[in-house]
Structure 1
């Protein structure tokens, strides 16, 4: 997982390994991280629609059972630590209402394979409910030079909505990839989209999970995108503010 400051990154998980078990990967896990280290991490159970299927709209993932986990927040990386150490602070989370109580940490070392990073540490295994040692391998995907890596971070925050349950959402776009996580009280919406080649304001849905996924996210924004400080509106009237753009 890339940790270079002031550069957007796209990280794709190759596998996860618990304790002494064999490495496995039964999800499509992608993390988009902005230059100021806002991130959106979306984990969907495979199979994932091809770009051709997404363009045709014939295989969009909408079944909530296909969502493994999705969360967004901010990360920090201590390159001077031995080994280098990263901390991921959740702000909105599909599994946990109190997202800010969730903090992931892991040591990061380069893999022998170019463009790969090994993350290791201890966290709760969702299949067992027990704290276990884990290892994840991340592939760093090059988002492209210049305009090809352009993007933004949007945030929705309204603690007065949903009967006091609050509403929080984060969307991150890097190049052609867009991911979003939205929680309104107990209701969760998650999206993953791809920008249509040659038509930057048109997005193909890979996954739109939850009843708010079609209306709660401001999808299909203009190619230039919002500037930092701008407000944009979702179809349902929900206001999102741009925290960062590049």
Structure 2
């Protein structure tokens, strides 16, 4: 499938109005493996009592939800032509477990996360489906509006590298994925669930936000060639190459 980098513009739990109080970034490789980081926007006070919502780069990540796992394309529902997909997490910040899981073994009691996609006239994408509402703890209908970003500032195909930690379970389960100019990392370990978000701006990679053990996750070398399926050593631990193009 096509690689992508997307930000979310709004979330709606019908019949409530849409909200935009989270800074959400998703990266996905051609393999269908994705990393989805959602952090709270902070209110910043100014003279005169004015406020605005700060982006993640202005502080540490206050994670509202973070997942890494597999996207599976589904057949359209009968009578519809909108593409559909199912998202199956391998690690989930709402259900931390610090244990190694296979592709087909999501965290226990994971509710379904399935949606259909409609491209709007301005090019944004409306996703409709069902997932757990964290406010109620119940599965509910949702609507999300997404905007795809250019994958890279450079000409030519974007570099895609996705690593999965292997080996010592004491270090927890971790994933790091880079798609073009965007990189997300997540670790579910003994110290809790940690994340990092990095972006390349004007040719320089910068940490946008990070918390916990996510600060120790390695950045991926955009120049080195990796063979898919191989195991490499990086930042003191072993990693399996899920994808490298």
Change (3 A) 1:186 1:87: farther
User: 1:51-200 to 2 correspondence within 5 Å?
Assistant: 59-61=58-60, 66-81=62-77, 82=80, 83-97=82-96, 99-101=106-108, 102=110, 104-144=112-152, 147=156, 149-158=158-167, 160-162=168-170, 167-185=172-190, 187-199=192-204
Alpha carbons 1:97, 1:186 under 8 Å: kept? no
Q: Secondary structure at the match of 1:133?
A: strand
TM-score by length of 1: 0.79
Change (3 A) 1:31 1:218: same
Distance 1:11 1:103 in 2: 23
Q: Secondary structure at the match of 1:213?
A: helix
1:207 matched to 2:202? The reply is no
1:222, distance to aligned residue in structure 2 (A)? 4.7
- Give the length in aligned residue pairs: 220
1:74, distance to aligned residue in structure 2 (A)? 0.6
Change (3 A) 1:207 1:232: farther
1:171, distance to aligned residue in structure 2 (A)? 1.2
Q: Secondary structure at the match of 2:107?
A: helix
1:48 matched to 2:44? The reply is no
User: 1:7-18 to 2 correspondence within 5 Å?
Assistant: 7-18=2-13
Alpha carbons 1:42, 1:71 under 8 Å: kept? yes
Q: Secondary structure at the match of 1:214?
A: helix
The aligned residue for residue 219 of structure 1 is 219
The aligned residue for residue 228 of structure 1 is 228
Alpha carbons 2:118, 2:126 under 8 Å: kept? yes
1:223, distance to aligned residue in structure 2 (A)? 2.8
1:103, distance to aligned residue in structure 2 (A)? 5.1
TM-score by length of 2: 0.79
Q: Secondary structure at the match of 2:19?
A: coil
1:28 matched to 2:23? The reply is yes
Q: CA RMSD in A?
A: 2.4
